[in-house]
Amino acid sequence: MTEQEQILKLREELHQHNYNYYVLNTPTISDRDFDMLMHQLQDLEKLHPEMNDPNSPTQRVGSDLNNEFVTVQHKRPMLSLANTYNKQEVSEFYERVKDGLQGAPFQICCELKFDGLSISLHYKNGILIKAVTRGDGTQGDDVTQNIRTIKTIPLQLPKEGNYPNEFEIRGEVLMPWTSFERLNKQREENEEPLFANPRNAASGTLKSKNSSVVAERGLDAYLYYLLGDNIPGDGHYQNMAAAAKWGFQVSKAMKLADTLEDIYKYIEYWDTERKNLPVATDGIVLKVNSLAQQRSMGMTAKSPRWAIAYKFQAEQAETTLRQVVFQVGRTGAVTPVANMDPIQLSGTQVRRATLHNADILEQLDLHIGDHILVEKGGEIIPKVVGKACPTDSDSQKISFITHCPACGNKLIRYEGEAAHYCPNDMECPPQIVGKIEHFVSRKAMNINSLGTEIIEQYYKQGLIHNANDLYTLKAEQLLNADETNKISVNNILAGIEESKNVPFERVLFAMGIRFVGENAAKSLARYFGSIKRLSTATLEELTQVNGIGDVIAGSIIRYFADERNRNFVNQLEKHGLKMKISQEQQEAKSDRLKDMSIVISGVFTHHSRDEYKEFIEKHGGKNVGSISGKTSFILAGDNMGPSKLEKAQKLGVKIMDETEFLRLIGEE
Ligand code: IVH
């Protein structure tokens, strides 16, 4: 067998293993063997760039090429569904179908309403050729690159499958709860804004310009609608069963109903059972099963007459409001929180719920003793959504505070922001404790012997006032503080001492400069090399760094403009914390690409795209996504996109191949 043939064979085998694993949940080989096959294929593909295929199983990892989405027209409009919220409306729908079909027998296909974003997939000769978002229903974004990273979406259907040459299949892209929780945890640690629910997270992810981000985030997809000229039969349910055989993930919860009673039973069952599903659902979809009957009923301008969505009530419960407290976070943001009588919601006991901000608090018009409605929908934190009945107490309306509950400073509200802030970031107790907690956290200085309680205790006892004080703590002082025994004192002091070895990038993250998360800190540390250079960098220099925009850059400048922060950092340096990248990192760097903006395009043989990106940064250059007059050159591999090529030629931008580039940076 030639290597080219081996590539084709491996691709087919891996497609099948992917399907067995991700769709059928019954792998037939071990993960290790799977990885071995994948590596074999990767190696062979490297040797044969001419065999490049965007649908190869190796492409599931995505690429960090900036893909700009192209708007495409839908072949058939993507309609939405009319919503109903109660059984009465379901029964009215059922009657309308009966009337519309003039007494002919019919079945209703009941299915789950997945709460993600809809996608249209196009297949030709068994190969995924295009994936388009719903957009405005008539045109959407071409997100094929990103969709290719979703493991349950087949890139290629089995050769012998009995599917039409051309068809479209629609479904929902979702972020499973586990992926969602993992992502938000990561974002919390990196100080990035959290996604409110899996739908927003899935949507944000699918619109990402970088498909390797999509690949990491673990999206999933369920398909629920087959369209085309030659689809197998007249039954929607039967067609979806066929699609499942071709390799698509189709929900096992689909069921045919012969009567209205069957439909009610389905709704009741899934109203509770849905809580055990790995993905979010927000209702039930009812569809006339026969495609001929669907056609005879037709559509309105917005939605089909043959289908309807029944929406579940978000889980709500009623309780009594006992108190509203105002919490101050590490950044000084103030959040109103309701304390209430405990209630059960989505399987957990809830006694606190967020009231978000001043505007929402005002709208809710709350008084202590009010009967309030609390909801736990897709959101992570339960929220107060309203009052169950009008206020029946003479207590005063609760209004937002004007001064910090912890330190008494007047709160401020920045333009365009919903939150109020306490500006006293150096003296306000919860801000100080929050900052020290962040400083010692795992991804920062990783002093795990210091928990929240100990930090609070030491702060209250006047032992620590900021992170610098940790480095002057003495065993005698700690032994005097109650609840701390000798062993834990030794642990704490050892942990603090050890943190002096933490690399500069993590020290920078630990400082807690607003918006400087873990990744930004890493890029900044590598780019500037030392706190000295970073602290004197201009806005222009800062925005040269990959991933640093005006917001982060502005925040860094404000931070170092404040003398108190500069003193804080100087002291940390005196205590022996690392304020420069290591000698090794330093030696590896050069200025060969200083001030250059470089676009990476195409497929490479010697190094991965990520490695090239690192090279560029290491040598002082900037990797940018799109070609402009300012582009210094394009680092081009094979199969550079024709539009990029044309643009480069038009603007007279130099195109450099791998070998030339490696020579330029001295990494041959
Ligand atoms: S069928 C013409 N089936 O709900 C009918 N849609 O409000 C097309 N959705 O845009 C849709 N689960 O994103 C259908 N089992 C399901 C669904 C479903 C979720 C979404 C879909 C659609 C929206 C309509």
CATH number for the domain spanning 348: value is 2.40.50.140
More confident residue, 303 or 530: 530
Q: How far is CA 339 from CA 332, 382, 392, 418, 660, in A?
A: 21, 12, 18, 22, 65
CATH number for the domain including 27? Answer: 1.10.287.610
- String of DSSP letters for 122-140: EEETTEEEEEEE-TTSSEE
225 lines ligand 1 (CB under 6 A): yes
pLDDT for res 166: 96
Q: What is the mean pLDDT of residues 194-203?
A: 85
79 lines ligand 1 (CB under 6 A): yes
Selection from 261-270, 348-357, 369-378, 656-665 with the highest mean pLDDT: 261-270
In angstroms, what is the span from residue 81 Cα to ligand 1's centroid?
A: 7
User: pLDDT tens digits, residue range 476-515?
Assistant: 988 887 666 777 899 999 999 999 999 999 999 999 998 8
Q: Are residues 438 and 550 in the same domain?
A: yes
CATH number for the domain including 619? Answer: 3.40.50.10190
Q: Which helix (H) or strand (E) holds 345?
A: strand 333-345
CB 605 within 8 A of CB 658: yes
Q: Tell me which DSSP letter residue 7 carries.
A: H
What whole-number distance in Å separates Cα of residue 493 and Cα of residue 594? 43
In angstroms, what is the span from residue 115 Cα to ligand 1's centroid?
A: 9
Per-residue confidence band for 64, with pLDDT thresholds at 50, 70 and 90: very low
Residue 65 included in any domain: no
Model confidence at 242: pLDDT above 90:
yes
pLDDT for res 416: 76
Residue 134 alpha carbon, nearest atom of ligand 1: 10
285 lines ligand 1 (CB under 6 A): yes
pLDDT for res 184: 87
pLDDT for res 194: 78
CATH number for the domain including 486? Answer: 1.10.150.20
Model confidence at 552: pLDDT above 60:
yes
What whole-number distance in Å separates Cα of residue 224 and Cα of residue 105? 23
Q: Are residues 501 and 632 in the same domain?
A: no
CB 173 within 8 A of CB 219: yes
Terminal CA-to-CA distance of the chain, rounded, Å?
Answer: 33
> Hunting for tokens 């349950």 — which residue is that?
152
Per-residue confidence band for 337, with pLDDT thresholds at 50, 70 and 90: very high
Model confidence at 380: pLDDT above 80:
no
pLDDT for res 377: 62
pLDDT for res 483: 62
Residue 117 alpha carbon, nearest atom of ligand 1: 13
Kindly report which listed range (176-185, 367-376, 591-600, 622-631) carries the lowest average pLDDT score: 622-631
Residue 303 alpha carbon, nearest atom of ligand 1: 2
In angstroms, what is the span from residue 121 Cα to ligand 1's centroid?
A: 14
Model confidence at 348: pLDDT above 80:
no
Q: Which of 311, 341, 362 is the last residue of a domain?
A: 311
Model confidence at 102: pLDDT above 70:
yes
Domain count across the chain = 5
Q: What is the mean pLDDT of residues 359-385?
A: 87
In angstroms, what is the span from residue 284 Cα to ligand 1's centroid?
A: 9
Model confidence at 541: pLDDT above 60:
yes
Share of the chain above pLDDT 70, in %: 97
Residue 116 alpha carbon, nearest atom of ligand 1: 13
What whole-number distance in Å separates Cα of residue 440 and Cα of residue 449? 9
CATH number for the domain including 139? Answer: 3.30.470.30
Residue 591 included in any domain: no
CB 579 within 8 A of CB 572: yes
Kindly report which listed range (93-102, 256-265, 342-351) carries the lowest average pLDDT score: 342-351
Q: Are residues 304 and 327 in the same domain?
A: no
Q: Are residues 307 and 330 in the same domain?
A: no
User: Tokens for 253?
Assistant: 């919860």
Selection from 375-379, 399-403, 652-656 with the highest mean pLDDT: 399-403
Among 81, 84, 173, which is best to mutate for testing ligand 1, by the most ligand atoms less than 8 A from CB? 81
pLDDT for res 275: 83
User: Tokens for 57?
Assistant: 């199983």
111 lines ligand 1 (CB under 6 A): yes
Q: What is the mean pLDDT of residues 531-542?
A: 95
Residue 617 included in any domain: yes
pLDDT for res 211: 85
Q: What is the mean pLDDT of residues 95-101?
A: 95
What whole-number distance in Å separates Cα of residue 243 and Cα of residue 251? 11
Model confidence at 121: pLDDT above 90:
yes
Kindly report which listed range (267-281, 337-351, 648-662) carries the lowest average pLDDT score: 337-351
Model confidence at 625: pLDDT above 90:
no
- String of DSSP letters for 374-412: EEESSSSS-EEEEESS---S-SPBP---SB-TTT-PBPB
Question: What is the sign, positive or negative, of the torsion defined by CA atoms of 511, 515, 519, 522?
Answer: negative
81 lines ligand 1 (CB under 6 A): yes
Q: What is the CA radius of gyration of the chain?
A: 29
> What is the domain extent for residue 449?
429-574
Among 76, 279, 285, which is best to mutate for testing ligand 1, by the most ligand atoms less than 8 A from CB? 285
Torsion of CA 87, 88, 92, 94, to 10 degrees: 30
pLDDT for res 346: 64
Selection from 210-214, 355-359, 409-413, 582-586 with the highest mean pLDDT: 409-413
pLDDT for res 66: 47
Residue 395 included in any domain: no
Q: Are residues 307 and 236 in the same domain?
A: yes
Residue 378 included in any domain: yes
Q: Are residues 55 and 82 in the same domain?
A: no
Selection from 82-86, 369-373, 605-609 with the highest mean pLDDT: 369-373
CA 486 from chain centre, in angstroms, equals 44
Share of the chain above pLDDT 90, in %: 59
Q: Are residues 323 and 305 in the same domain?
A: no
Average pLDDT, the chain: 90
Model confidence at 583: pLDDT above 90:
no
Residue 397 included in any domain: no
Q: Are residues 522 and 601 in the same domain?
A: no
Per-residue confidence band for 532, with pLDDT thresholds at 50, 70 and 90: very high
Residue 299 alpha carbon, nearest atom of ligand 1: 2
Residue 514 included in any domain: yes
Q: Which of 353, 387, 421 is the last residue of a domain?
A: 387
pLDDT for res 224: 98
Q: Which of 355, 387, 419 is the last residue of a domain?
A: 387
Q: Tell me which DSSP letter residue 290 carries.
A: B
Question: What is the sign, positive or negative, of the torsion defined by CA atoms of 580, 581, 584, 585?
Answer: negative
Per-residue confidence band for 146, with pLDDT thresholds at 50, 70 and 90: very high
pLDDT for res 320: 96
What whole-number distance in Å separates Cα of residue 41 and Cα of residue 60? 13
Model confidence at 183: pLDDT above 70:
yes
Q: Are residues 118 and 217 in the same domain?
A: yes
Say which of 75, 113, 500, 522 is annotated catalytic. Answer: 113
CB 355 within 8 A of CB 463: no
Q: Are residues 124 and 220 in the same domain?
A: yes
> Hunting for tokens 């519309």 — which residue is that?
100
Q: Are residues 168 and 299 in the same domain?
A: yes
In angstroms, what is the span from residue 220 Cα to ligand 1's centroid?
A: 16
Q: Are residues 183 and 286 in the same domain?
A: yes
pLDDT for res 585: 79
Per-residue confidence band for 269, with pLDDT thresholds at 50, 70 and 90: very high
CB 263 within 8 A of CB 90: yes
**Residue 138 buriedness (CB in 10 A; 0-12 / 13-18 / 19+):** exposed
CB 40 within 8 A of CB 7: no
Residue 417 included in any domain: no
185 has catalytic annotation: no
